[in-house]
A and B are shown apart, each in its own frame.
Chain A
Amino acid sequence: MFLFNQLPNGKQSRKKTTADPDGAVIALAGNPNVGKSTVFNRLTGLHQHTGNWAGKTVSTAEGVFLYGGECFRVVDIPGMYSYSPHSAEERAAVEFLRSGRADAVIVVCDAGCLARGIGFVLETAELTDNIIVCVNLTDEAESRGIHVDTRRLSQMLGMPVVSASAAHGNGMKELAQCAARVCADVKSGARHNGFTVKYPAPIEEKLKIIESALTEEQSQCQTGKNPRYLALHWLLDDSHSRLTKNGDSAGVCPREWDAIKKIVRKCREELAEKGLDYEKIAASVASRRILTADAICEQCLIKDDGQTSRSELDRRLDRIFTGRVSGRICMLLLLCVVFWLTITGANYPSEWLSRLFGGFEETLRSWLAFCGIPAFFKNMLVDGVYRVLTRIIAVMLPPMAIFFPLFTLLEDAGYLPRAAFNLDNCLRRCGACGKQALTSCMGFGCNAVGVTGCRIIDSPRERIMAMVTNSFIPCNGRFPMLIALISMFFLGSVHPPLDSILGAVLLTGLICVGLAASFGVSKLLSVTLLKGTPSSFALELPPYRKPRVGSVILRSVLDRTVFVLGRAAAVAAPAGAVIWIMANVHVGGDSVLSVICQFLDPFGHFLGMDGVILTAFLLGFPANETVIPLMIMAYMAQGSMSGIDDISAIHALFASNGWTASTAVCTMLFTLMHWPCATTCLTVYKETRSVKWTVLSVIIPTFTGCAVCAAAAALMRFF
């Protein structure tokens, strides 16, 4: 479900919309987790990923909607609490809004947490007058007994206000209409009367001084930005480092900095004389904004008496999910249940697909022969490309397509932040950020997405730590491998239905090993390469929400299937061809493949595996899904087996090549801990812009994996 429209930095989606550069640009801004992406999806008909936690969207996405025959471009930006950004993704959002690229801004608010949303509206109003307020999640608020008087709110703010419940599509037409109207007004030059927060008199006075100085500069530089906002920004920004680096965001020409700086410094000094030092100014500005927002909300909110029932339910659930004992048990149990459902559910489609593909193989062979394709190419296509491709689809796809929707359900229900909350103490002791638990969870889907998700972590050292350790969490391409190995080697003598339960327990255990490794490596990094004290952390725990089961499952199964098929075609097919060529091109009697395997064999045995396994892992670098199919192929090329079409046949093949339970254990450990796939490495580079950390993110897990495997192999040899 990740990755599709949400390519890191959203370049792909941007391309789509340059087709119509004239359309008005509307930004979707607001606090995190108020449903901006859901509104975006409703407006544009796209499928941006959504989840019930703050920080799900880390990159901007663009889409288009039509209203009244006109085309509007909508930009979904990451959520933010204010215009003082903390983390990379918030910084991107703030910069987008400041850049003035948006003609109008839709500020999405959570009706259940309206005061904070209105506070953000007020702050946005300092930047631009063209605001549409969208009070979202009204259905949820009403079930809590909170009603919002949007007409009154609109009167008080002097802005159009639309009440909506984007998840059900309510209010979207009105929102589009409002946005279109505001954009038309922008075009015709009509100004909306925004709302201005009045700050305490001494601050207002200084703001006026800076403002007038800025207006003078602006008339020369024509940056066309709201001087009041800029004045406040200059007064409040502690370090001018960011401003000096990027003159655009300060709205002042580089040559004017010194003049403005002098005025700002003087203003600050005068305020400090009155007892208003920098921190007090910031607090007083924030608190005035909050009080204004509260005062507005008080007049627009109607609260029923019976409002507490829903919150009571949330607190009761929290007591279970974060309880001293129950919290930990729930975490393991939830993982176990998800895995159990995955293992049980994946068996049938897997078998069915294997049989289907196996049956088709001969037909394909005869077709190709009929078309007069030379034997070499025919064999390469069938034995190489076709088999690797179909095995990925048969063995790897079903678990992925089942695990993913289940995980999405947990995400939508709002469980992930609770898991991060529970794990924070461990992570704090390891010198890491509690949000690392969130990015690890994203890693279950795809490590590359997990790495991109690390943008929500504020401190650079903790962010790098989370990126480097992300690959210890088996991604969707790797845990079907674990499932396959577990069911081949450890469940043989167990009868159903106990086998799938045991499988789930073993898999949960393995995941815990991976988690432990990621914690351990974090700790190690925090005392060596990434020294420092754990930074602060504030995590919002959203209300529990009932996920829309049907649409979530449908959407994520489809997404996953398309994603896996696409990747299989792009990566696995060439890999299959390459390994087939390697197995069939002979150098001095031996095939290239067996030469490599034999070369790696001693090292493989040292790690409790063999040369073929290591070769498969190496060749699986572009995509981990290919490892097991490649192993099968390599073994088959060496032997003379054919017709592998189910898991027991794979087991027989592996066993005949000297696999024991200890080989399986070492292979599973190595699956858990080895180099991240190519996409992840590339993403680490994109995110860190550092060759050093990209290389380390390969070396560290690899080294850990080798050490753990060697130790495990030695131990098992001993017993």
Chain B
Amino acid sequence: MKNSECALCDLQDGECGRVVLLGECGNLRQRLLDLGFVEGARVKRLFSAPSGNPAAYLIRDAVIALRASDAAGITVMKYVSFQSVTKRQTKQEEDHS
């Protein structure tokens, strides 16, 4: 399984990731935090607008559209699918306990 860090906007439609860092997002920072883009949050890019920008992301059961320039400030760890994220999470939790 290939894991790599990238900006949220670099995810392809259908790809998932886990938020690593919420960087420079200007005045949107607090809003992104409120929406759930906190460290460790799972996020999935669902689909894009006809022109490719903005894109819609699934976060905390809600679909949020973000422009590429705003999503660029969020660094994510890319996973192959949601399922693998869950597996990894459970494994981590087991390790903890």
Mark A residues whose CB is within 8 Å of B: 81-82, 84, 86, 112-116, 119, 279, 282-283, 286-287, 290-291, 315, 318-319, 322-325, 327-328, 417, 421-422, 424-426, 428, 434, 458, 535-543
Contact = CB atoms under 8 A, between A and B. Distances in A.
B6 interface: no
Task: Please give me the 10 A-B residue pairs with the lowest Cβ-Cβ distance, nearest first.
Answer: A287-B38, A536-B28, A286-B33, A82-B34, A425-B51, A81-B34, A541-B63, A539-B65, A536-B70, A113-B61
Contact of A325 (B36, B50, B62): B50
B30 A84 contact: yes
Nearest to A83: B34
B56 interface: yes
A277 to B, nearest CB: 13
Given A114-B61, A116-B62, A538-B32, 10 more contacts: A81-B35, A84-B31, A86-B31, A115-B36, A283-B22, A319-B47, A428-B67, A535-B26, A537-B28, A537-B70
A417 B39 CA distance: 28
A68 B22 CA distance: 50
Interface string B55-81: 010001111111101100000000000
Interface residues of B, number: 37
Given A112-B61, A115-B61, A425-B51, A536 B56 contact: no
B63 A540 contact: yes
A282 B67 CA distance: 23
A324 B27 CA distance: 30
Contacts of B54: 421, 424-425, 434, 537, 539
B90 interface: no
A422 B54 CA distance: 8
Given A318-B46, A536-B28, A538-B35, A116 B61 contact: yes
A536 B69 contact: yes
Contact of A322 (B39, B50, B67, B70): B50
Nearest to A81: B34
Nearest to A31: B62
A535 B69 CA distance: 10
Given A327-B49, A421-B49, A425-B51, A283 B33 contact: yes
B66 A328 contact: no
Nearest to B65: A539
Contacts of B69: 536
Contacts of B67: 424, 428, 434, 536-537
A425 B53 CA distance: 6
Contacts of B66: 537-538
A421 B27 contact: no
A269 B3 CA distance: 37
Interface string B9-20: 000000000000
Nearest to A116: B60
A538 B28 contact: yes
Nearest to A328: B50
Nearest to B54: A424
Contacts of B63: 540-543
A322 B60 contact: no
Contacts, number: 127
B51 A536 contact: no
Given A113-B60, A116-B61, A539-B65, A422 B25 contact: no
B35 A425 contact: no
Contacts of A323: 50
Contacts of B40: 287
A115 B60 contact: yes
A319 B28 CA distance: 27
A318 B56 contact: yes
Counting chain B CB atoms within 10 Å of each CB, the highest count among A113, A119, A319, A425 belongs to A425
A84 B34 contact: yes
Contacts of B22: 283
Contacts of A112: 61
B42 to A, nearest CB: 11
A421 B56 contact: yes
B74 to A, nearest CB: 11
B65 A421 contact: yes
A428 B66 CA distance: 12
Nearest to A294: B60
Contacts of A286: 30, 33-34, 38
B97 to A, nearest CB: 15
A540 B64 contact: yes
B39 to A, nearest CB: 6
A283 B39 contact: yes
A422 to B, nearest CB: 5
Given A283-B33, A287-B39, A421-B49, A540 B62 contact: yes
18 contacts: A86-B30, A113-B61, A114-B61, A116-B61, A282-B29, A283-B38, A287-B33, A291-B38, A325-B50, A421-B54, A422-B49, A422-B50, A434-B67, A538-B64, A540-B62, A541-B56, A541-B63, A541-B65
B30 A282 contact: yes
Contact of B47 (A115, A116, A318): A318
Contact of A327 (B25, B50, B53): B50
Contacts of B49: 322, 327, 421-422, 424-425
Most buried by A among B22, B51, B69: B51
A291 B54 CA distance: 28
A324 B26 contact: no
Contacts of A113: 60-62
A283 B30 CA distance: 8
B70 A538 contact: yes
A541 B32 CA distance: 15
B61 A324 contact: no
A272 B65 CA distance: 33
A297 to B, nearest CB: 10
A424 B55 CA distance: 10
A298 to B, nearest CB: 12
Contacts of B36: 115-116, 119, 290
A28 to B, nearest CB: 19
Given A322-B48, A322-B49, A424 B65 contact: yes
